[in-house]
Structure 1
Amino acid sequence: MIMRTVIVDRYGPPEVARIAEVPMPEPGPGQIRVRVGATIVGAADAVMRAGSPRYARIASGFRRPRHAVPGGDFAGVVDALGEGARWFAVGDRVHGTLAPASGGNAEYLVIAEDAAVVPTPAGLDDAGAAAVVDGFLTATPFLRDLGRVGPGDEVLVVGAAGAVGSSAVQVAKALGARVTAVTSTPNLDLVRALGADLVIDRTAGPAQATAKADLVARGVSGYDVVFDAVGGWSFGTARPLLGPRGAYLTTVPSLGVLALAVPTKLLRRRRTAIAFTGLRSAAAKRADLELLGRLVAEGRIREVVDRVLPLERVADAHRRVDGGHKAGAVVLVTARVEATAR
């Protein structure tokens, strides 16, 4: 049996991502095979395709991509069981992630049944079910575990319309925080609809000054967490906005953040920190996916989809991610469909 898959076997522009036909994988002991309905092209996939910044090649391979099939997050239907697999049945709808491994940008994949895979929440189609995975599994450990966000905290989200940022707004609200969101003009209404208490248009003036004016007007000493979902700020930019024990958290591992993370933590005052959420255990991710299902059922988390493209337009998906203006997730579907945008 043959299936279509995305192949990236050299570093370069979006065009290096191509479609190939390869043998369909067979599930081994304790594994399930999923017929993929939808999968994601995210920022990490674009970095691994481009091989830039160069330090990313420590993980992806120095001369060429170590794993030719990209993509971590997926949603689909279980269509075969390996020997001893008993948690799922053929026909079950599931979603999850292969990260830190890859292989999701394909028509079929195999995954251990005790990996980060859970039943798909009712009410989500495959595109929506795939879209919520990456952002939620990134934003939740950053805000809940690293930032220790709780009721009444002040949280500023930079890049609030992206896949991670849109999840961060919703996660912070679910944790009881008051959320200020920074985004661009086309996405203001979207971010308000996600629950942000204040939305700052980064294209209309200095977002930092607007955020500071809001804090002063409300008599708040500073933000408990500034969560930079896109790496657009720095600790120096965020520091004047932080409360006495506030934290600047970023998803982008710059040399400055890596150098300051330990010293600022030891000082027990304003600090900066980063987490490599893809490296968490499968059990931790599965527990958060189960939490995600409950929050979706309660209407507290919803998917944000920038556009849906057929698998064969994977290069266009990478161009969209490279452009830096997407709102939510860029989804690839294996069915042959017309492209749709948010």
Structure 2
Amino acid sequence: MKAAVYTKYGSPEVIQIIDVEIPSPKPNEILVKIKASSVTRADTMMRQGIPKFGRLFLGLFKPKNTTLGTGFSGVVEAVGSQITKFKVGDEVFGEKLFCNGCNADYICIAENVVLDIKPNIISHEEAAPVCDGFLTSYNFLKDIADLKPGQHILINGASGSLGSAAVQLSKVIGAKVTAVCSTKNIDFVKSIGADKVIDYKKTPIAKINEKYNVIYDSVGTLSYKESKKLLSSNGVFMTPVLSGQILYQMLFNPKKVKFAATGIKKTEELKQLFLDLVGLYKQGKLQTHIDKKYSLPDIKHAHHYLETGRKVGNIVVVNP
């Protein structure tokens, strides 16, 4: 089978497509033939080894985990002897973290992790990125911000994977949404539910004259110092993008500034969030927007496109 790997930090050109043996499932695992997998900004940051202090965990001089991709959707090809929930032929989707990347033809994954039957109202391409955009943003909105109906949230980077997920989830929760994006994406962000859209090219953060219960900087381009005047007395500034500045601000403003790595939550907590999302998809309350699709041999091009900053929604790798 084919798999995308990188053995050193660098540009998209460090990515290689290699041949490896199809894995065999352990007793508690299923073998999935991948139909679609996600490509995310987090993938590009790990490939680059940035921020550099992150290499303390990723690998100081070269990556410890050389595979790419976390979100996937596919078809069960084989099951281990202890499997009770899934059978051969089931269409499944989910997320596999930290090992054996999903930008590949096959993966083995344990039954009890972030994994479920794919709702039949969405395609494999629409299912593959759910755990990257929606799961991360849902964790921030529900568990970190505890966003409530009627509260007002500002979402920066509202047209990206995390941001577009946050807009939809905030509306499901019942919050008022002000979204920040570029001119060309205003109509898209309005179409997914934003109550108000701010064009950051015309209205910088310093000129916004409103108060928000939550500011969700999904792309890591805002600073708390500039944003704090926009927060209500009990407001929270949060971001999934780690930086030295955020670490510093968290140290001195732990109740106001929040960062979290969703992937390191307890498996049972992640799975419950994921199952909540599955239910919302089944009800037709969420939609995945796909910007571009690539084949596995062209995954370098997907990483190049991600680094332009022009992505709207999600990018997926599609396998035949």
Is the contact between residue 60 and residue 67 of structure 1 (CA under 8 Å) also seen in structure 2?
Answer: yes
Root-mean-square deviation (Å):
1.3
Task: Quote the Cα distance in structure 1 between the aligned partners of 2:205 and 2:250.
Answer: 24
Q: Please, which of 248, 251, 254 is the counterpart of residue 259 of structure 1? A: 248
- Within the alignment, does 1:153 sit opposite 2:142 as a pair? no
- In the alignment, what sits opposite 1:308? 293
The answer on 1:225 being equivalent to 2:210 is no
CA contact (8 A) 1:40 1:130 kept: yes
Normalization by structure 1: what TM-score?
A: 0.91
SS in 2 for 1:323: coil
Distance (Å, rounded) in 2 between the aligned partners of 1:247 and 1:169:
17
Task: Look up the match of 1:292.
Answer: 277
Q: Which runs of 5+ in 1 are unaligned?
A: 216-221, 336-342
2: CA distance, partners of 1:316 / 1:296: 30
Aligned position for 2:308: 323
Determine whether 1:239 maps to 2:235.
no
SS in 1 for 2:317: strand
Post-superposition CA distance 1:85-143 (Å, at most 9, x none): 11101111111111244511100000100011111122111110012221111101111
Query: CA-to-partner distance for each residue in 1:133-185, whole Å, 9 max, x for gaps?
Result: 21111101111111110100000000001111110111111111000000011
Residues paired across the two proteins, number? 320
Confirm or deny: 8 A CA contact 2:100 2:107 kept in the other structure.
no
Query: Which residue does the alignment assign to 1:219?
Result: none
TM-score scaled to structure 2, two decimals? 0.97
**After the TM superposition, which residues 121-200 of structure 1 pair with which residues of structure 2 at under 5 Å, given as runs?**
121-200=119-198
Structure 2: how far apart are the matches of 1:256 and 1:16? 29
1:58-69 to 2 correspondences below 5 Å: 58-69=56-67
The alpha carbon displacement at 1:208 in A equals: 4.1
Within 2, Cα distance between the matches of 1:58 and 1:109? 27
Shift of 1:260: 2.5
Per the alignment, in what secondary structure is the counterpart of residue 146 of structure 2?
coil
Q: Distance in 2 between matches of 1:115 and 1:46?
A: 24
1:10 aligns with 2:8: yes
Specify the SS of the correspondent of 2:307. helix
Within the candidate set 50, 53, 65, 2:51 is matched to: 53
Distance 1:179 1:72 in 2: 29
Shift of 1:205: 3.0
Quick one: percent identity of the two aligned structures? 36
Stretches of 4+ aligned residues off by more than 4 angstroms:
none
Where do 5+ consecutive residues of structure 2 fail to align?
Answer: none
Query: Residue 38 of structure 2 corresponds to which residue in structure 1?
Result: 40
1:19 alignment partner, one of 4, 11, 17 = 17
Of the structure 1 ranges 225-234 and 48-57, higher mean CA displacement relative to structure 2 is found in: 48-57
Secondary structure, in 3 states, of the residue corresponding to 1:23?
coil
Provide the residue aligned with 1:218 in structure 2: none
- Is the contact between residue 131 and residue 304 of structure 1 (CA under 8 Å) also seen in structure 2? no
Helix, strand or coil at the partner of 2:189? helix
